[in-house]
Amino acid sequence: MAHTTDDTLTVLVYSDDRNTREQVTLALGKRPAADLPEVRHLECATVPAVLRALEKGGVDLCVLDGEAVPAGGLGVARQIKDEIYGCPPVLVLIGRPQDSWLAAWSRADAAIAQPVDPVALAEAAATLLRARLTGRAPAHH
């Protein structure tokens, strides 16, 4: 049976690079997994835009570009984990698999190496969104 609630999940996508934001939104699509509600993408090109969006609330997942300039997503991840109460899960895009230690330093909940593998990104995002949903409300079965 189809998901009948009108709930949508909001995924914030941060990168100064429009192509990276587009890769992420295309990889996630309208619904990263069949058991999840539809997602709405909130694209941010600057850190102030990310902070404004998080302070406003309603963000269910942050996807941050670790290679963004001038402020990389790893530093942004660490900052929002420190500063935002109830910070949503954070998925960082890292330049190389060897950079996974940086993702741990940033307190990100998950990391995907670039170039973005759409399947891996969707799976990681779906896992974090499911955890966010089950932490926020009882499962609808």
Name the fold adopted by 8-135: Rossmann fold (3.40.50)
pLDDT, one tens digit per residue, over 52-87 is 999 999 999 999 999 999 999 999 999 999 999 999
Q: pLDDT tens digits for the chain (141 residues)?
A: 233 345 899 999 999 999 999 999 999 999 999 999 999 999 999 999 999 999 999 999 999 999 999 999 999 999 999 999 999 999 999 988 888 889 999 999 999 999 889 999 999 999 999 999 988 643 333
Domain ranges for the chain: 8-135
State the alpha helices, DSSP H only, in the chain.
18-28, 47-56, 73-83, 100-105, 118-136
Closest Cα partner for 14 from 58, 56, 76? 76
